[in-house]
Structure 1
């Protein structure tokens, strides 16, 4: 059985894109992050030290993303997944990265990835 802790709607503002004009601006991206976590011990003890600290996850992801510069959203999503897997002791993470209306006549574009420690 796997429990999931999620952070949906997390905003970050990296420099991201392949076009020359994109390389000089920040863009607002929205992340939905689902993280495998066993919450049973935290629930039994009612103690933060036994829980996944989602404030720490949000802060580290925003700090990393806001300080980054990548051409592809695929690269940013992959790097964020690896950060979460390595720093927060989880076995699995799903990241949905939304770049907004980056394509004419399209409401939202983005990527969804799932990564696990076994990969």
Structure 2
């Protein structure tokens, strides 16, 4: 079974980037997270303890993005994905997208994003 919980458009302000200006002034980042899990137990129990609490998921991601500066948003996305897999053993997989809408690109662009996906291997 592969149900999904989707958290999209989480707005965070962080100091990530390879340029000193990015680390000094910071910029907005947008986070999307998709979690794959079997939600049958939660649906049957009607208990938030049997699922991924999306409020806690949002707080965890926000804490990482607003935390220590990283050069790469790949690092930020990976940390969120790895943390989610560790904190919620019921997850089959998670996908984290970090959007950097004000990336220092000297051309017009619609979006820059990095996606990290983690999944559990079945033995």
TM normalised by structure 2 equals 0.88
Q: Which residue of 2 aligns with 1:53?
A: 53
Q: Which residue of 2 aligns with 1:115?
A: 118
RMSD of aligned C-alpha atoms?
Answer: 1.3
CA distance in 2, matches of 1:56, 1:113: 19
Moved over 4 A (4+): none
1:41-80 residue CA offsets vs partner (Å, 9 max, x unmatched): 1111212122211101111111122112101111111111
Q: Which residue of 2 aligns with 1:85?
A: 85
Q: State how many pairs are aligned.
A: 118
- Matches of residues 11-90 of structure 1 in structure 2 within 5 Å? 11-89=11-89, 90=91
CA distance in 2, matches of 1:23, 1:4: 34
What SS does the corresponding residue of 1:61 show, helix, strand or coil? helix
CA distance in 1, matches of 2:6, 2:109: 26
TM normalised by structure 1 equals 0.91
Gap runs ≥5 in structure 1? none
